[in-house]
Chain A
Amino acid sequence: MADKNPIVPKLEKLGREVSEQIKKGENPYVSIPVRALSNVKFNKEKKTLSLGSQESKRYFVNVAHARKFMQTMLVSSFCKELVEHDIHASIREAYYSLKRNIAGTHENTFEEQGESDPIIVDLEVMLDILREQLHLNADRSGVAAGKVIISDRGDTIDWSKLGSGGWSVPSNVEDIKIKKVDAKFVLVVEKNATFDRLNEDRFWEKHDCILVGTHGQAARGTKRLIHNLHQKTNLPVYVFTDADAYGYYIYSVIKSGSINLAHASEEFATPSAKFIGLTMADIENYGLEKYTIRATDQDLKRTREMLKYPWFAAKEWQEELKTMVERKIKAEQEALASRHLKFVSEEYLPTKIKKKDFLP
Chain B
Amino acid sequence: MVAEGKGVNKEGAKERISDSTSEFNSEDFFQKTYKESNVAEFFRRNLHMLGYAGPLKNLTTIVHEFVTNGLDACEEGNILPEIAVELESLGERDMVVSIQDNGTGIPESYIPKLLGKMLSGTKFHRYIQSRGQQGIGSVGAIMFAHITTGQPIKIITSTGNGTIVTAVMDIDVKKNEPIIYQMLKSKGKWRGTKIIAHYKDVLYQKSEQGVLEYLRRTAMANPHAKISLKEPDGNVIVFERSAKKIPPKPVEMQPHPLGISADDLRGLAINTEARKISTFLSTGLSRVSSGKAAEVEKLCSGLDFSADPKGMTHQQAERIVKAFKEVKFVSPSTEGLVPIGEERVEESLKNILKPNFYSVVTRAPSVFRGGIPFQVEVGLAYEGEAGRAVTIKEDGRTKSGKASEIMRFTNRVPLLFDAGGCAITTAVKSVEWKRYHITDFENSPITVIVNFISPHVPYTSAGKQALSEDEDIMAELRFALMDAGRKLKSHLAGVRREQMKQRRRDLFNKYIPEIARAVSKLSGTAEGTLKDKLQKLVSLRLKSKEFEEEEEAALEEDGQKGPEGDREKEEEEDE
Contacts and interface: CB of A to CB of B under 8 A. Distances in A.
Given A34-B564, A34-B565, A139-B575, A23 B525 contact: yes
A37 B566 CA distance: 8
Contacts of B563: 56, 58, 62, 64-65, 68
A62 B518 contact: no
Contact of A38 (B514, B520, B566): B566
Select the residue from B530, B533, B542, B558 with max chain A CB neighbours within 10 A.
B533
A258 interface: yes
A15 interface: yes
Interface string B498-530: 000000100110110111011111111100011
A1 interface: no
B530 A36 contact: no
Interface residues of B, number: 46
A260 B570 CA distance: 8
A117 interface: yes
Interface string A95-137: 0000000111101010000000100000000000000000000
A259 B563 CA distance: 18
Contact of B522 (A14, A62, A219, A249): A14
B538 interface: yes
Interface string A13-34: 0111011001101110000101
Given A77-B518, A218-B574, A246-B571, A64 B533 contact: no
Nearest to B552: A63
B446 to A, nearest CB: 30
A12 interface: yes
B184 interface: no
Contacts of B566: 36-38
A253 B536 CA distance: 47
A35 B564 contact: yes
B533 A63 contact: no
A220 interface: yes
B551 A70 contact: no
Given A25-B536, A62-B551, A103-B510, A81 B568 contact: no
A145 B240 CA distance: 97
A217 B571 contact: yes
B558 A12 contact: no
B572 A62 contact: no
A60 interface: yes
Contact of B514 (A18, A74, A223, A302): A74
B551 A36 contact: no
B568 A37 contact: yes
B510 A249 contact: no
Contacts of A246: 571
B511 A102 contact: yes
Contacts of B1: none
B124 interface: no
Given A62-B551, A217-B574, A32 B521 contact: no
A117 B540 contact: no
Contacts of B541: 27, 61
A219 B574 contact: yes
Interface residues of A, number: 63
Contact of A62 (B530, B554, B564, B575): B554
B547 interface: yes
B507 to A, nearest CB: 6
A60 B524 CA distance: 19
Nearest to B506: A105
Select the residue from A22, A69, A217, A218 with max chain B CB neighbours within 10 A.
A22
A259 B518 CA distance: 30
Select the residue from B507, B514, B524 with max chain A CB neighbours within 10 A.
B514
Nearest to B566: A36
Nearest to B540: A25
A64 B574 contact: no
A102 B551 CA distance: 23
Given A22-B533, A63-B504, A109 B571 contact: no
B573 interface: yes
B545 interface: no
Given A70-B511, A76-B522, A253 B572 contact: yes
A63 B572 contact: no
A63 B554 contact: yes
B260 interface: no
B127 to A, nearest CB: 63
A33 to B, nearest CB: 10
A102 B514 CA distance: 8
A261 interface: yes
B564 A32 contact: yes
Contacts of B533: 22-23, 25
A138 interface: yes
A249 B523 contact: no
A62 B537 CA distance: 12
B573 A260 contact: yes
A150 interface: no
B574 A261 contact: yes
Contacts of A76: 518, 522
Contacts of B510: 102-105, 107
Select the residue from B513, B514, B519, B551 with max chain A CB neighbours within 10 A.
B519
Contacts of A23: 525, 529, 533
Given A15-B521, A36-B564, A27 B537 contact: yes
A68 B511 CA distance: 10
A117 B574 CA distance: 11
A219 B564 CA distance: 25
A37 B568 CA distance: 7
Contacts of B554: 62-65
Contacts of B427: none
Interface string A260-277: 110000000000000000
Given A19-B519, A73-B522, A61 B547 contact: yes
A254 to B, nearest CB: 10
Contact of A36 (B514, B523, B525, B568): B568
A66 interface: yes
Interface string A48-80: 000000101010111111111110011011001
B514 A109 contact: yes
Given A74-B514, A217-B572, A61 B537 contact: yes
Contacts of A219: 574
23 contacts: A11-B522, A12-B522, A16-B522, A18-B519, A18-B522, A23-B525, A25-B536, A25-B540, A39-B565, A62-B551, A63-B554, A64-B555, A65-B554, A69-B511, A73-B522, A74-B518, A76-B522, A80-B521, A80-B522, A217-B572, A220-B574, A223-B574, A259-B572
Interface of B: 504, 507-508, 510-511, 513-515, 517-525, 529-530, 533-534, 536-538, 540-542, 547, 550-551, 554-555, 557-558, 563-568, 570-575
Query: What 6 A-B pairs have minimum CB-CB distances, sorted nearest first?
Result: A15-B522, A15-B523, A19-B523, A73-B518, A77-B518, A64-B558
